[in-house]
Structure 1
């Protein structure tokens, strides 16, 4: 940043250097908020991965279209998705540089001639334009943050600007963000009251019938160690699982073991499982799975066997499950793995 005066700033006895741009959490912030440095940085990173994509298309033993598209989404577009709320206020001419990279990726994936219409390529590959993608991601992320129970202070200007006429807003990052939010009809979401905090375990226990069996599951990762646990009344079960397991995998192991334990229980008409992993529930609900297939299949099959004679209720977003969390953390200190699982890839 350019100094406001000739007097330098010091941290202790060390002078602080003034710079025109700074890399913060993987995003370049420049003094004018033009995001030119960030766009150039993204262009350089995506071009390197574009070369890898091109090398995968060898005519003799190259990858299939499905693999190429997956690489584009996971390795190239993810770089832009990470910082989507930042370049939403950038000049469209700068965004076009990123659009050029994606267009090149589409041509490579489909092995199409360069005179192919880009709109047809996007429809064929089901990949939206970068400009639209950045606005959609930014609008969704900003709406989620501003509508949370504890919104970040710098984003409080966005809800305040929602009801202003577009002509009254200066051309700024806030103006571009508000336009993106209006484009996807998320302005009504931001203006709603923030959601209530998660229900406590004490409140849930008050509503749960006494003859229901309740499990609390959790997983813990202390790289490279990993553990999983469940709590059911006075019973605590915990395991150390294969080193290198992801947080999602530990949560799935905890749910699986809770279901296996519940399968052998015949004294209750219903089973309630509390988990703090929304991603685990989302994975189990997917009809097609490409990862963690073995453990997900075991969970689903065990659940169907239980459903033949019991009711299963799975909750997510319950706060206060410290016992299961502590048990999973303690399991990571076990000298050997109790459960061997196939690591996700």
Structure 2
């Protein structure tokens, strides 16, 4: 039975009637009836002003196309096909994927596209004069993995077994970036490059997108309604296609497992446009390439210049802090205003707040302080993202920005002048260092009861990403007792290290450092052999279980005469102890 896809006319009542008439026909007359009704549908749509594009129309049929007549849309013939592209993803019309097919057609089509994008990266990662490892990782995430991220809603409808070829593709890319051999542990490479398993990332992307839709229902109201109905045990969700059912089922399972209850965002439109005026913001004319002393001098000059233009003004420094453990805080400090009774102290914020929102909370406290004292002021901040959010049409923390704008409207009514200035951070400005210490100290304060439950999107994103990383962590924990390379990498991962980005032969240096850090799997681990001694006989002196670095460098009698002195011996012993055994020589 042929099926037709006419994307422009799905909401046309003539097209709906056409489908009902087609379904009521007998199977033997359906091709002829379809030909006649398609022509009638074309004429009816044309009379209503609806133009059907033959280039975007296709006919799918499980029967042999040679046994079917030609179907026309006006003078053009609609071609037959077995799949079509929708938002870049191939969609097959066959009811099920054949069991003998090893790779799903959507995955196969995507792998073909990714393989073409991998070729430039292979050329750029030449081990002699290629790009550095951090640059190669950025190219992969922006140029290759972004295609997978875009198709995550489609790929999440497939099983994890069907997505295994994509995981193998990322493993190949990681070896290409690091310049490591096939025997390198995948878990070590993922941790070194800070990459999630690709399959876990696909499902994490869809889960976080669902959280955003539940938080802001205006993004996708129909999808958010389906998720809410599926999460409610008393409601009965509507009938969906198999792919849609799989998507909803997987997302709801992850939300229940993570125990995520997303509060709906309150709509805040801010002050009316006729009341808002452009925010007065200035920036210190400096950049990162300038020396710290030069940046400090330019910052002090900018402060004096702006402060002299505001009559009878106070100077306020603000800062926000987000710690590694997720605690957040903000602080305000002024050398020209009398401190409060309890002294200058910061304010604790919700855990896992973004750094920009922490800075915006500080700006809000500074503007509120100027309104209470009815004084003009210069607010100094070291966050460009927070100051840019004040004039952005789509800021990150809309409610905070709108609250600041309302305070600025009130300040204008009271004839107050409030100016914002950006200065570079950590360049030796004394007052800015004081407010930085206050903001960090505020992270250790008790969290107010009203803010005890975090409800920020960054908190949910971190939880979802952490959950996606659990599979790699569990696999490393299981393999660690019998894996020399994982134990070796744990020794190096505990120490901070940064790959060189620029310099002579930087790629070659990066690859050597990566191989030393990641280690090599011994032969008995690669072959998965059992009951094999971990150390074979020495290649020089045939000593039993002595094929390792310490024996060759310090104990082998064949090289004893090459060691010059006991001082060199001690230096070599320290060197070997700092580089644990990583798989034999």
Taking structure 2 as the reference length, what is the TM-score of the superposition?
A: 0.35
Paired residue for 1:174?
248
Paired residue for 2:89?
27
- Whether the 8 Å CA contact 2:136–2:177 is kept in 1: the answer is yes
C-alpha RMSD of the superposition? 4.3
- Whether the 8 Å CA contact 1:262–1:271 is kept in 2: the answer is no
Paired residues, number: 241
Task: Give CA-to-partner distance per residue, 1:35-68, whole Å, 9 cap, x none.
Answer: 9443233212211122222111223211111111
1:301 to 415, 424, 429: 424
1:2 aligns with 2:3: yes
Helix, strand or coil at the partner of 2:161: helix
| Distance change (3 Å), C-alpha of 1:153 and 1:79 | same
Identify the structure with the greater strand proportion: 1
- Whether the 8 Å CA contact 1:145–1:151 is kept in 2: the answer is yes
1:265 aligns with 2:310: yes
| Distance change (3 Å), C-alpha of 1:110 and 1:270 | same
Paired residue for 1:162?
231
In 2: Cα distance, 1:122 partner to 1:36 partner = 25
- Displacement, 1:181? 3.0
| Distance change (3 Å), C-alpha of 1:144 and 1:78 | same
In 2: Cα distance, 1:51 partner to 1:83 partner = 21
1:43 to 64, 87, 111: 111
| Distance change (3 Å), C-alpha of 1:27 and 1:2 | same
In 2: Cα distance, 1:260 partner to 1:53 partner = 50
In 2: Cα distance, 1:33 partner to 1:137 partner = 26
- Whether the 8 Å CA contact 1:84–1:137 is kept in 2: the answer is yes
| Distance change (3 Å), C-alpha of 1:140 and 1:280 | closer
- Whether the 8 Å CA contact 1:88–1:177 is kept in 2: the answer is no
Helix, strand or coil at the partner of 1:278: coil
In 2: Cα distance, 1:99 partner to 1:199 partner = 43
In 1: Cα distance, 2:179 partner to 2:186 partner = 13
1:278 aligns with 2:395: yes
In 2: Cα distance, 1:120 partner to 1:57 partner = 20
- Displacement, 1:85? 2.1
| Distance change (3 Å), C-alpha of 1:70 and 1:270 | same
- Whether the 8 Å CA contact 1:22–1:30 is kept in 2: the answer is yes
- Displacement, 1:261? 9.3
Paired residue for 2:271?
201
| Distance change (3 Å), C-alpha of 1:125 and 1:151 | closer
In 2: Cα distance, 1:199 partner to 1:261 partner = 35
1:119 to 187, 191, 208: 187
Task: Give CA-to-partner distance per residue, 1:234-271, whole Å, 9 cap, x none.
Answer: xxx9xxxxxxxxxxxxxxxxxxxxx9996543441255
- Displacement, 1:185? 3.8
Task: Give CA-to-partner distance per residue, 1:298-345, whole Å, 9 cap, x none.
Answer: 94339x98x87xx9xxxxxxxxxxxxxxxxxxxxxxxxxxxxxxxxxx
For structure 2, list consecutive stretches of 5 or more residues without a partner in the other structure: 5-18, 23-29, 61-81, 98-102, 283-302, 314-375, 381-386, 399-420, 436-585
For structure 1, list consecutive stretches of 5 or more residues without a partner in the other structure: 206-214, 217-229, 238-258, 282-297, 312-345
Bigger-Rg structure (1/2): 2
| Distance change (3 Å), C-alpha of 1:59 and 1:26 | same
1:36-115, aligned counterparts within 5 Å? 36-115=104-183
- Displacement, 1:86? 2.1
In 2: Cα distance, 1:33 partner to 1:71 partner = 36
In 2: Cα distance, 1:260 partner to 1:47 partner = 57
In 2: Cα distance, 1:202 partner to 1:271 partner = 24
